Amino acid sequence: MVPAERDRLPEYPEELRPTPTVEDYLGVIYVLARDGESVFGRKLADWMEVSPPTVTATVQRMVRDGWVTMAEDKTIHLTEAGRRAAASVVRRHMLTELLLARVLGVPWSRVHEEAHKLEHNLTTETAARVAEVVNESTVCPHGNPLPGHEALTEELIPLLSAAPGQRYLLARVHEEIERNPRMMAFLEEHCVVPGAEVIVIEVLPYNETVTVHAADREVVLGLAVAAHIWVEPLAAAANGA
């Protein structure tokens, strides 16, 4: 389906793009803000896997250059220019993931890591051609929405809120998990991927685990992982097909 014109975000001019490092920061801020999470320096340090002083110095430069602002409570917010630049790099990243997965056959668990190496060099023209090749897809291989299509995932149910014994279609694995290649490989190996039918067997808060049935096997996930997975009732998924 070709997205409606109103869903398209204006592409950020190539000649005005920030450095790859700043694009990485902008992308993380965009993703966190997209899901309603307050963005603090310590969260960025965790995501970027750098020291807090490094984050402080980088964010100060980003404030100076007009990409972000910092509120009195130390939360970090994208400016309009920052939002556009962030949406651009997130879109390029997701389009690259789709190309790697669908055309080049790169394993699902590895496309995030591989796309990160390529996204900064993808030109606007090439990104447009990739979008055509992947049929103007609106979600990445992990089910996260491309910029401008956030509404597509608003009705999904957190895995931890799924009713035990009911059938669901796994729809989305958050970028928080994508950051962990070993966990992504585990999920792929056990068929806990978008498009898989899953049934919650039991949730054990005291043990911090949830057991799900997927692909004729039971899989035990930590609550921290399950908290970043979304599903939809199988009947609803079938009706929307």
Q: Show pLDDT as tens, one digit a residue, over the chain (241 residues).
A: 334 433 455 567 777 889 999 999 999 999 999 999 999 999 999 999 999 999 999 999 999 999 999 999 999 999 999 999 999 999 999 999 999 999 999 999 999 999 999 999 999 999 999 999 999 899 999 999 999 999 999 999 999 999 999 999 999 999 999 999 999 999 999 999 999 999 999 999 888 999 999 988 999 999 999 999 999 998 755 555 4
Query: What pairs with residue 157 in β-bridges?
Result: 231
Q: Are 8 and 146 in contact (CB under 8 A)?
A: no
DSSP class of residue 113 equals: H
CB 112 within 8 A of CB 184: yes
Domains and CATH numbers, the chain: 5-133 (1.10.10.10), 157-240 (2.30.30.90)
Q: What is the pTM of this model?
A: 0.89
Cα separation, 151 vs 173, in Å, equals: 16
- Judge whether 120 and 88 are in contact, CB under 8 Å: no
